[in-house]
Amino acid sequence: MEDDTLTAMSQLDAHLDRGWDLVAKGDFQGATLSAEKSLELDDGSPEAHHLLGYIYQAEGRAEEALEHYRAAIELDEGFVDAMLHAAEVMLHPVGDLDGALELVREALEWLTDEDADLRAEAMLLEIDVLLVRKDEEAAKKIARALPEGPFENPGVGLQVGRARLDVGDVDGAAPAIEAAAEAMPQSSDAHYYLALLREAQKDQTAAMLAFLASRELDAATPDPPWTLTPRQFEGRVRSALGQLPEALTRVIEGALVVVTELPGAEVVAEGVDPRQPLLLDALSGPEEPPKVGRIFVYKGNIERLAAGLFQLDAEIARALEAELVATFEGLAEPTA
């Protein structure tokens, strides 16, 4: 009997390891099979529920992801990774800010100063929630308390710098972001946040060069496993346009919609953010009714923003509505 138990545990560990390996490779279908097999072997395994929750999160299946994260936490009350991943889903796309904040703070109660990476990740998520809630003072307070490292994962150091930059602490952000850019020269995120740092430091030439480097690395990054063909994506764009309020629909009526992967290097050199989801062009004059002649939709950037295939239409509509409202004064505020 003991040998059978050990064999089952070995099989469970093997399926879990294979599942995470497949997740890293972007093979969510294969990873799902491994996760489901893990649950067949032990439906009380918090690790198996966590794995399946992570897969569903990556696919944009928010409610199913939360169901498995909650199961993992019920089975292991100190499962910090499951708490933080559940909080991410609650923040976006669910929008349950109170629930996300509660989970993050519960996770922090389980962490000590020795857990520098995880503690930083939890605090970074807390800052993100507070910023969405527009509680900037509380976010600044958490940012000042972030661990200084060293971190096992240099990406955590980059995110610490990003958080400090988000709350306006340019001097505090600079060492972390610069160190991450040096340690991770092939990271598009590192170059992107270095560009934002250089912008904040009023060094426009350095910012442009870092933005261009980020764009080149983004262009070389594999698409998410759920990526659509350009034709399929164009259909989603048309669907998203139909979700806009009538007041905004009038502004873009008859506009030429161009779908491309990323902003071109030439427009980035002119100051366009390489991760901008879309660009409005051929705009009406200041004394004319608001009107857009061309809309450039950047497929790669929209897919990066979307939590998964199921959120794609909403992300396109949200980006377009926000850009229209930012461009033309007096239009309706974007929906939450």
Q: Quick one: DSSP state of residue 224?
A: P
Distances (CA, A) of 188 to 197, 293, 328: 14, 32, 31
* Burial of 19: CB neighbours in 10 Å, binned 0-12, 13-18, 19+: buried
pLDDT above 60 (res 44): yes
Token code pair at residue 84: 């933080």
Which pLDDT tens digit goes with each residue over 248-272?
Answer: 999 999 999 999 999 999 999 999 9
pLDDT above 50 (res 212): yes
Q: Is residue 121 part of a domain?
A: no
Segment 287-310 shows an average pLDDT of 89
Measure CA 231 to chain center. Answer: 24
Predicted model pTM: 0.81
**Radius of gyration, CA atoms only, the chain:** 22
As a whole number of angstroms, the distance between CA 110 and CA 231 comes to: 47
As a whole number of angstroms, the distance between CA 55 and CA 312 comes to: 17
pLDDT above 60 (res 5): no
pLDDT above 80 (res 162): yes
Return the pLDDT at 332.
60
Q: How confident is the model at residue 6 (pLDDT cuts 50, 70, 90)?
A: very low
Q: Is residue 8 part of a domain?
A: yes
| 3 state SS of 294 | strand
| 3 state SS of 310 | helix
Segment 27-52 shows an average pLDDT of 94
The number of distinct structural domains making up the chain is 2
Going by C-alpha positions, the residue among 271, 273, 296, 299 that lies closest to residue 283 is 296
| CATH label of the domain that carries residue 245 | 3.30.2010.20
Q: Is residue 240 part of a domain?
A: yes
- How many CA atoms, within 13 angstroms, populate the side-chain half-sphere of residue 240? 21
| CATH label of the domain that carries residue 12 | 1.25.40.10
* Average of per-residue pLDDT values in the chain: 91
Last residue of a domain, one of 110, 145, 163: 110
As a whole number of angstroms, the distance between CA 227 and CA 242 comes to: 22
Q: Is residue 131 part of a domain?
A: no
Return the pLDDT at 8.
57
* Burial of 291: CB neighbours in 10 Å, binned 0-12, 13-18, 19+: middle
Last residue of a domain, one of 50, 79, 110: 110
Last residue of a domain, one of 50, 82, 110: 110
- Containing structural domain, residue 65: 1-110
| 3 state SS of 10 | helix
Which pLDDT tens digit goes with each residue over 299-324?
Answer: 999 998 886 777 788 889 989 999 99
The backbone region for 281, taken as left when phi is positive above 0, alpha when psi lies in -120 to 50, beta otherwise, is: beta
pLDDT above 50 (res 2): no
